[in-house]
Amino acid sequence: MQASLPEMHVWLACPESTEVIDFTTGLWPEACREATGEEWLAPHPPDYLWTFGSRLPQSVRYVPDRTAIDLVIAVLHLQGREYP
Q: pLDDT value at position 16?
A: 93
Task: Using the predicted structure, report yes or no on whether residue 29 has a pLDDT greater than 90.
Answer: yes
The pTM score is: 0.66
* 48 within 8 A of 25, measured Cβ to Cβ: yes
- Measured in whole angstroms, the distance separating CA 81 from the mean position of its chain's CA atoms is 21
Q: pLDDT value at position 65?
A: 87
Q: pLDDT value at position 51?
A: 95
